[in-house]
Structures are given as C-alpha cells and as structure tokens.
A and B are shown apart, each in its own frame.
Chain A
Amino acid sequence: MVSNLVELRGLKVAFDGVQVLHGIDLDVARGEAIGLVGESGCGKSVTWLAALGLLPGKATVSGSVRVDGQEILGGPRTVLESVRGKRIAMIFQDPSSSLNPVLRVGRQITEALAIHRSLLGDAAKAEALRLLDMVGIPDARRRFDLFPHEFSGGQCQRLMIAMALAGEPDLLVADEPTTALDATIQAQILDLLIELRAETGMATIFISHDLGAVSQVCERACVMYAGRIVEQGTIEALFDNPRHPYTRGLFDAIPRLDGPRERLIPIQGTVPHPRDLPEGCAFSPRCSHAAVDCRRHRPDLDPLADGRLLACHHPVGQQSADTRHNTETRVMETVS
C-alpha cells in the first residue's frame, strides 16, 4: 500500500488557551487536490499554518503531522525547515505584502534555490528565470532585479508561486491565493495552479471560501466549521448532494445568473467566537434542522455509505434532480 504524502491526526491549536482547532484528521495522497472551504474564521488557514509551524509563538499546537510517515510536529526547528518549501510549499492571500519589500524579486527566488537545490550564481539565476517564465512573468530577464512594489498584485502572486516551486515541493498549500485579486486575474491564477499541477504532479491544498474555484481546482473537498471538518467528500458528492446543513447553506448562498431572479438564502448569524462555542454541534444555533440532540451532543465525523465523511445528527435529505441541476448551474456560473 502506498502511504499518504501528508497525514494530519488530531491537529489542535489554541491561542492563549482558547481552542480554535479541535482535532483535524486529514490525509493527502500524492498528486491529489483537496479544497478546504468554510467561512472566515473556520480554521482553514490555521490548519496548515499550524502543520508547518508558521503560527506565532503564542499558539499551542498538538496532534500529529506526518510527511511520508515522518513526524514533523514538536521536533527540532531544523526538521520543520527541511519540510517547508522543500516538501510542502505555501502561498498566501495577500501576495503584495507576502513578498519582502526590500529584497529584489530575483534574489527572493534564488535564495530558495540555494537552500533547497544547492543552486548558486548563474545556475540559480537560469533556473529562477525558467520558473518566472513558467508562472507567466513576461520579460523575466529584465525584471529579475526589480522590487516587489514594481509588480501588480496578480504578478506578485505569480512570483509567490515561482518561489513556492523553487523547492520542487510535493505539496502546494494555496491559502486563498485569489481572494485579494480582481476577477479576471483570479481566473488566470486558478488556471496557472491547475496547469502547474498537471505539469509537476504536485499535490495541492486549495483553501478558499469560493466554492466555484474549489470545484475547478480540486477532486475532493473538506467543509470546515468552527475549527472542525463537518463534511468531506468528492467534489461531485458535495456539489450534487450536500448532506451537512452548513454545506447546503454555502451552496444556497451562491447567486445564479440565469433564470428568474430569486432571493439568495444566506446562512443566518455568524461563526461563533472560539471562546464561546455552543454545546453540542457548533452549527446548531444557525441550523434550521437542529433538534434537541444537536444542542446536547456533538456529532462525530463518521463515514457514510457513499464514501463521504459527515458530522451531523440530522443531515439534509437527498436532493431532487431538479434542485441538483440548479446548484450545478450556479456553481458553473460562478466559476466562469
């Protein structure tokens, strides 16, 4: 049996004693693309920042993160440093502030090449130029020695991706890579990510609250709510037939462009603050299907017959073919 590339087990994070991540279990196989979706503050980004030891010092992280079977959590700093960039690379939401403003972009890429692939001098520069070309930076040779502020937001994200590719990672974690960009640029960056994955065969974690983008990039998705995974399955399963009321709510909040204008159905309320999570299911106060047991006992994340994982006492039923079609249309419109 081929082992998974990355395995998260019981990953927990607390900030100043307040638990924000309540035990995440997730397997990432080689080459696969997984989406993490959910509203802001659900713990999507924190999961991967914690796994790579990138959270600030006040965060307490526990659980297990294995890369190719090797535990990286709680080990010496050098173990993490050998994984970051080399095995798992990460790109972030705001590309402009994620690049060092006082260092030339070429150097920010070549320093990664020096560390991970021992490329120096002209060899490093040649490889960096190849990467810049690969991510679609025009006129890379001339712009090699420019500073980040001389590039647009979309180009900065391309530079970030080039930097991430420098270590030839097995997994790229893209943390809302398109959120800060305008719509046409978003589409370009998504295309680039899809292309690069096809070319390099690296696995991708795509963190987003944009379901359309997730469906474009990924085969599988995890829906997160209040620091837990509440539903996990293939894109088809989740899109055709969301079973968790929260997943369903996310789809209902996507506008449709064709057909009669109808009112969007928002999810009432907001994500609870980690400090005062309700008893039982964390989604129950916002859930129209919630019953007494939801408010008493938190449902476990259990496998269903169709292969998905679900944490809900009262899942929403199978949808009719008609509404399923509607959801699909909406999603496809959002994507295009």
Chain B
Amino acid sequence: MLRFVSTRILRALITILAVLTFAFVVLRMSGDPAQVMLGPDVPQESVDAFRKAWGLDQPLWIQYLAYIKAIFTGDFGVSMRDKASAMQLVIDRIPATLQLTIPALFLKVVIGIPAGVYAALHRQSAVDRGVILAAIFGFTIPSFVMGLLLVLIFSITLGLLPSGGQDTWQHGILPTLTMSIGGIGILARFSRSAMIEVMGQPYIRTASAKGMPWQHVVWRHALPNAAVPIVTIVGFMVGSLIAGAVVVESIFSWPGIGRLLVVSVTNRDLAVVQCILLMIAATMVVSNLIVDLLYGWLDPRLRAQSAH
C-alpha cells in the first residue's frame, strides 16, 4: 500500500513538472511579453530594459532552470502587470471560482447520478427516454451557447436574474447553472450505462434468486459495483474545480481564476499564467490520486492488483 501511494505521488510530481515545462516553453515561444506590456510604439531601449529586468534576455534554458529553482524555494514569480506576487493574485481569485464550481459540482452529482440510475432501473420507460434526451441536450450544447441562452431567457426576456457580476447570491445562479448542465448530462449518461451493465450481471440475478428485496439488490449489490465508472467521472469533475470556469466566468464577468487566466494570457503575464496552470495541474493530479485510492476501496479485485 505504501509503495502504491509513493509511486503514485512520484508520478503526480512528474506530471506537474511536465505541465510546468510545457507551459514555460510554449508561453515564451508564442509571443513577447515586452511588446505586449509596453505597446507597439515604445523605443527599442525600453524593450531591452524590460527584457533585462525580467530576465527575458537570457537563453531559454537558463530562464527555465532559474524558474524551476525558484519554484522549489517557494517563489512563484511576480506579475509583470501588477508587480505583485503571482501566487497571491491567483489565490485571491480562488474563492470566487469555487463559489461557482462547488455548487455546480454538487448539482451535477445530486441530479446527474440519481437521474441516470433511475433511468437505468426503468429502462425503455418514458422517464428513461426523457433522461437520455435531456442528457444529450445537456452535454452537446457548449457552455458559451448555454450561458447566452440562459441570459436570453432569464435576464433579458423574463428579467428574473442578473446577467453578470458578483454582487449578490442571485448573480451566481446563472453561471452555476450554465456550468452544471453539461456535467449533469454526462453523469446521468454514465450512471445509466454503468447501472445497466451491472444490473445485467450474473451476481445481480443471484441476489434476486436469494430472495433479496429489490431495493436491497439495487442499493447493496448493484450500486457499489456501478460506483467505479461513476467515481472516475466525478473525480475528473473535482479535478476541474479550478480550471472549469474559464468560459463561464468570461460570459458572466465573474472575477475568478478563469477570467484571470484569460486576461493574463492576453497580457503575456508569464508568472501568473504559470501559477494558474500549476494550480490546475495540481488539483487534477490530486483528484486523480484520490480516485485511484478510491478504486481500491470500492473494488477489492483492483486492491489485489495494485498490491503486486
């Protein structure tokens, strides 16, 4: 078990390092921060001075080594735009993003999974067809279309909810809905197919043949077996708690990580973008790690495999 966890953690660190390296190289290859920050009409001397001040005149690999070294000492760099600690800028925005993504995750789980399970247990019924149809609508409509659609209906036509900003709790409703609808659809579909698969297994027939009441068969025998694929998807959603809001935050002018990322990429604010990517990678990696550990807990056969 200890070996299992330690290899997973090592692998997680390598993943994060890979993401950082990739982000570092791509950001520096794809545009010049000095030009973007200073504008097109500044004299060459100013550009050179800016580059020298931020270390951009050094060869790429020296910059990279310096960056990695700094990270290991807990220095995540300074924003070129705000001259403040990049990590602090990012951390300040996290609560706003979580205000949307956590309620959205909650909605996905409490609506998506029960809807999918119910549909699977009432296959071919009107409810089942309704769930499939709604799920397909949910996850095929892109969030920017869904967001605008909701704004059109609830803000412009009905005038019930605000279309942007973060002033009251009502402001959070539309972005949360926009973010959750696709996930509800995905979870409903996955739960449905996982449950249908499990309900057709011989051990479910055994449980019924034993005289177990139907609810008992569903709760004790079927659901624990259907949990593995469902947990995989939920784990992915947890991993996207930080990253998942880029489009929606932009539509609804929500001052979270997503909007900070868009602004920082546009400005070539290297340290901030790198910090955000680091956060996103770390959340994803941690949630994957938790999912891996949950697998072993949910399915003893996988536990036996990972022990070897």
Chain A contact residues, CB within 8 Å of chain B = 49, 52, 54, 56-57, 77-78, 81-86, 89-90, 92, 94, 97-103, 111-112, 115-116, 147, 149-150, 160, 163-164, 166-167
Contacts of A86 in B (CB 8 A): 211
Q: Is B57 an interface residue (CB 8 A)?
A: no
Contacts of A166 in B (CB 8 A): 210
With contact pairs A77-B214, A81-B214, A82-B211 given, residues A57 and B224 touching in the complex (Cβ less than 8 Å): no
Q: Which of B123, B203, B213, B214 contacts A100 (CB 8 A)?
A: B203
Chain B contact residues, CB within 8 Å of chain A = 123-124, 200-203, 205-214, 216, 220-221, 224-225, 298-301, 304
Contact status A98-B214, CB under 8 Å: no
With contact pairs A149-B300, A167-B211 given, residues A111 and B220 touching in the complex (Cβ less than 8 Å): yes
Contacts of B299 in A (CB 8 A): 101-102
A sample of 23 cross-chain residue pairs with beta-carbon separation below 8 angstroms, ordered by A number, consists of A49-B205, A54-B205, A54-B208, A56-B200, A78-B213, A81-B211, A81-B212, A81-B213, A81-B214, A82-B211, A85-B210, A85-B211, A86-B211, A89-B209, A90-B209, A92-B202, A92-B206, A92-B209, A97-B202, A98-B206, A100-B225, A101-B301, A112-B211
Contact status A52-B300, CB under 8 Å: no
Contacts of A84 in B (CB 8 A): 208-211
With contact pairs A94-B202, A99-B206 given, residues A115 and B211 touching in the complex (Cβ less than 8 Å): yes
| Docked CA distance A49–B209 (Å) | 9
Contact status B301-A147, CB under 8 Å: yes
Contact status B300-A167, CB under 8 Å: no
Interface centre among B123, B206, B208, B298 (most CB of A within 10 A): B206
Q: Which of B212, B213, B300 contacts A102 (CB 8 A)?
A: B300
Contacts of A56 in B (CB 8 A): 200
Q: Which of B201, B211, B216, B298 contacts A97 (CB 8 A)?
A: B201
A-B contacts, CB under 8 A, total: 85
Question: Given A54-B205, A97-B203, 4 other A-B contacts at CB below 8 A?
Answer: A84-B209, A102-B299, A111-B216, A163-B210
Contacts of B210 in A (CB 8 A): 84-85, 89, 111-112, 115, 163-164, 166-167
Interface centre among B124, B207, B220 (most CB of A within 10 A): B207
Contact status A102-B225, CB under 8 Å: yes
| Docked CA distance A112–B214 (Å) | 13
Contacts of B208 in A (CB 8 A): 54, 84
With contact pairs A103-B220, A103-B221, A111-B220 given, residues A98 and B203 touching in the complex (Cβ less than 8 Å): yes
Contacts of B301 in A (CB 8 A): 101, 147, 149
Q: Taking the nearest CB of chain A, how far is it from the CB of B247, in angstroms?
A: 38
Contact status A115-B212, CB under 8 Å: yes
Contacts of A150 in B (CB 8 A): 304
| Docked CA distance A106–B203 (Å) | 15
Q: Taking the nearest CB of chain A, how far is it from the CB of B305, in angstroms?
A: 10
Contact status B304-A149, CB under 8 Å: yes
Contact status A57-B123, CB under 8 Å: yes
Interface centre among B206, B209, B298, B300 (most CB of A within 10 A): B209
- The residue on A at minimum CB distance from B228 is A102
Contact status B201-A102, CB under 8 Å: no
Q: Taking the nearest CB of chain A, how far is it from the CB of B121, in angstroms?
A: 10
With contact pairs A92-B202, A149-B304 given, residues A100 and B221 touching in the complex (Cβ less than 8 Å): yes
Contact status A92-B211, CB under 8 Å: no
Contacts of B201 in A (CB 8 A): 97
| Docked CA distance A100–B210 (Å) | 12
Q: Taking the nearest CB of chain B, how far is it from the CB of A47, in angstroms?
A: 14
Q: Taking the nearest CB of chain A, how far is it from the CB of B228, in angstroms?
A: 9
Contacts of A81 in B (CB 8 A): 211-214
Q: Taking the nearest CB of chain A, how far is it from the CB of B5, in angstroms?
A: 21
- The residue on A at minimum CB distance from B211 is A85
Q: 8 smallest A-B Cβ distances: which pairs? A: A85-B211, A84-B211, A147-B300, A100-B203, A85-B210, A90-B209, A98-B202, A97-B202
Q: Taking the nearest CB of chain A, how far is it from the CB of B77, in angstroms?
A: 47
Contacts of B224 in A (CB 8 A): 102-103
Contacts of B207 in A (CB 8 A): 100
- The residue on A at minimum CB distance from B303 is A147
Q: Taking the nearest CB of chain A, how far is it from the CB of B192, in angstroms?
A: 15
Q: Which of A49, A89, A111 contacts B212 (CB 8 A)?
A: A111
- The residue on A at minimum CB distance from B301 is A149
Contacts of A52 in B (CB 8 A): 209
Contacts of A97 in B (CB 8 A): 201-203
| Docked CA distance A150–B201 (Å) | 19
Contact status A160-B206, CB under 8 Å: yes
Contacts of B202 in A (CB 8 A): 92, 94, 97-98
With contact pairs A102-B298, A149-B301 given, residues A92 and B205 touching in the complex (Cβ less than 8 Å): yes
- The residue on A at minimum CB distance from B210 is A85
Contacts of B209 in A (CB 8 A): 52, 54, 84-85, 89-90, 92
| Docked CA distance A54–B220 (Å) | 18
Contacts of A112 in B (CB 8 A): 210-212
Contacts of B225 in A (CB 8 A): 100-102
- The residue on A at minimum CB distance from B201 is A97
Contacts of A116 in B (CB 8 A): 211
| Docked CA distance A89–B209 (Å) | 6
Q: Taking the nearest CB of chain B, how far is it from the CB of A274, in angstroms?
A: 20
Contacts of B211 in A (CB 8 A): 81-86, 112, 115-116, 167
| Docked CA distance A167–B207 (Å) | 13
| Docked CA distance A116–B209 (Å) | 12
| Docked CA distance A57–B225 (Å) | 21
Contacts of A78 in B (CB 8 A): 213
Contacts of A99 in B (CB 8 A): 203, 206
